[in-house]
Amino acid sequence: MTTVETQPKTGEETQLERGFIGQDYPRKEDKRLLQGQGVFTDDIKRWGMGYVHFVRSPFAHAKIVSVDVSRALEIKGVYGTLTGDEVALQTDPFFQIASEPGASVRDYALAVGKVRYVGEPVVAVVAETRELARDASELVEVEYRDLPAVVSAEDALAPGAPQLHEEAPGNLSFDYEAGNEEAVKEAFARAAHVTRAKLQVTRVAPNPMELRGCTVRYDAKDGTYHVHVCIQGINMMRKQLAAITDVPEEKIVVHAQDIGGSFGQRSAAYPEYCMQMLAAKELGHPVRWISTRSEGFMSDTHGRDNTVTGELALDGDGRFLALKIDWIADMGGYLSATGSASHSRTRTDSYRGLAFRLRPDAPQHRPLRRRPGCCAHPRGARSRYLRGGTRTRRVADLPFHDRRLLILAGQRLAALLYRA
């Protein structure tokens, strides 16, 4: 709370003038939301709208041998279907913010030739009702040939591990480093105390209250796509959709409405949205998709899932000399548009003094989920950074692994002093 204390005159009480911080002020949107007048993605209705249901992979890693949609297309009320091969002819792969080889991984809106995580969309079925689309999707026949899979980043980097993407040998998506390794070595050589720990930062799923969804309408008069989507950033969404579908940005209108939570998962252009743009133009119907909760757990971006091995060097008085981190983070089956950038934004200014090295090597490996973590740290990158200094900020400002090392160091130094 912001307060201003005025000096009282003799015999007068102190007066406090309250500022805005910490005060209760009515929010403008509460009334309509509480009265059910909010407009969320699932509230968007358009005449002649088609509903999408996705046939998703039951395998973590498998080759697609054949796809047969003929029986689904025979059902009255089914507008059409799309397969990965059809999508690949009409769109570019998703772009990856990563160095080579991760930047060369080819990732389309529907699986092409192979599936790389449980729940990857393989076929889209569009019908006049949601229920009909779901029923028709059960008539789609997909033949798979199961392939070996691993479920941890460390296993994916091991020699002989199953190869997920041919473009990323050894399942390593990207590798970079920064900092001063020699300065860190020197600091550790003269350290009076070294604290070491291996930490597991567990995977998180955003899981907002409002399920992910999108409605796309194509206006044939001017070639404009109207995209109604639960969204966190309009400009990023539009740029990504334009890059993937080869549609000029000015021909994509992204409509933002109320949103039921985000937690970092709403900014990226997901495969479902790109497929909907193709279907809306090809079929001549607005196309709508609303995720189920189980689909969300399988296909929304996840975060963290890092394995961190850290070492903290201290002098005899307990002052920090250097910090060294080996970091493996799970990137999932594919990189998200911004997931890999999270590692490159690792803070380097938490400590004063300069003896810093950052080396993330990012494996692309985990054939379980969709894309990495738009929340905080991505999966599938192995990062290593080293840094040194003499003073730290408050503990709450530091990354998780820094805080844990600091707390462990304090506990061990306290134990040494107690025994002394």
Domain of 213, CATH number, reads 3.90.1170.50
Last residue of a domain, one of 250, 280, 299: 299
Regarding whether 278 and 232 lie in a shared domain, the answer is yes
pLDDT (tens digit per residue) in 147-185: 999 888 888 889 999 999 988 888 888 776 766 888 888
Regarding whether 143 and 178 lie in a shared domain, the answer is no
Bridge partner residues of 125 (DSSP): 53, 81
What's the whole-number mean pLDDT along residues 80-99? 86
Domain boundaries, position 93: 47-147+208-262+266-299
Residues whose CB falls within 8 Å of the CB of residue 341, separated by 6 or more in sequence, listed in order: 97
Regarding whether 413 and 330 lie in a shared domain, the answer is yes
Regarding whether 242 and 365 lie in a shared domain, the answer is no
Number of domains in the chain: 2
In a domain, 25, yes or no: no
Domain of 386, CATH number, reads 3.30.365
Provide the pLDDT confidence category of residue 49 given band limits of 50, 70 and 90: very high
Provide the pLDDT confidence category of residue 340 given band limits of 50, 70 and 90: low
Closest CA to 361 of 128, 154, 126, 61: 154
- Model pTM score: 0.80
Number of H helices, E strands in the chain: 11, 19
Regarding whether 195 and 67 lie in a shared domain, the answer is no
Rounded to whole angstroms, how far apart are CA atoms 334 and 116?
8
Rounded to whole angstroms, how far apart are CA atoms 175 and 334?
16
Residue 365 is predicted with a pLDDT of: 47
Q: Can you tell me which residue has the tokens 């009409």?
A: 90
Provide the pLDDT confidence category of residue 13 given band limits of 50, 70 and 90: low
In a domain, 72, yes or no: yes
Regarding whether 187 and 131 lie in a shared domain, the answer is no
Rounded to whole angstroms, how far apart are CA atoms 326 and 385?
7
In a domain, 241, yes or no: yes
In a domain, 143, yes or no: yes
Bridge partner residues of 55 (DSSP): 123
In a domain, 353, yes or no: yes
Last residue of a domain, one of 299, 323, 348: 299
To the nearest 10°, report the CA torsion of 246, 250, 251, 256. 110
Burial 130-144 (b: 16+ CB within 10 A, else e): eebbbbbbebbebeb
Regarding whether 321 and 213 lie in a shared domain, the answer is no
Rounded to whole angstroms, how far apart are CA atoms 107 and 271?
9
pLDDT at position 306 over 60? yes
In a domain, 366, yes or no: yes
Regarding whether 239 and 140 lie in a shared domain, the answer is yes
pLDDT at position 250 over 90? yes
Q: Is 287 left (phi over 0), alpha (psi -120 to 50) or beta?
A: beta
Regarding whether 283 and 391 lie in a shared domain, the answer is no
pLDDT at position 319 over 80? yes
Regarding whether 125 and 62 lie in a shared domain, the answer is yes
Structure tokens at 388: 């040194």
Q: Is 388 left (phi over 0), alpha (psi -120 to 50) or beta?
A: beta
Contact between residue 347 and residue 387 where contact means Cβ atoms under 8 Å apart:
no
Rounded to whole angstroms, how far apart are CA atoms 112 and 57?
12
Residue 145 is predicted with a pLDDT of: 97
Q: Quick check: bond before 101 cis, omega within 30?
A: yes
Structure tokens at 132: 């009909």
Regarding whether 283 and 313 lie in a shared domain, the answer is no
Regarding whether 368 and 308 lie in a shared domain, the answer is yes
pLDDT at position 408 over 60? yes
pLDDT (tens digit per residue) in 121-138: 999 999 999 999 999 999
Q: At what angle do helices 234-245 and 271-283 cross, to 10 degrees?
A: 60
> Per mean pLDDT, which range of 66-70, 279-283, 284-288, 383-387 is the poorest?
383-387
In a domain, 17, yes or no: no
Residue 374 is predicted with a pLDDT of: 25
Last residue of a domain, one of 254, 281, 299: 299
In a domain, 139, yes or no: yes
What integer best gives the mean pLDDT of the chain?
A: 79
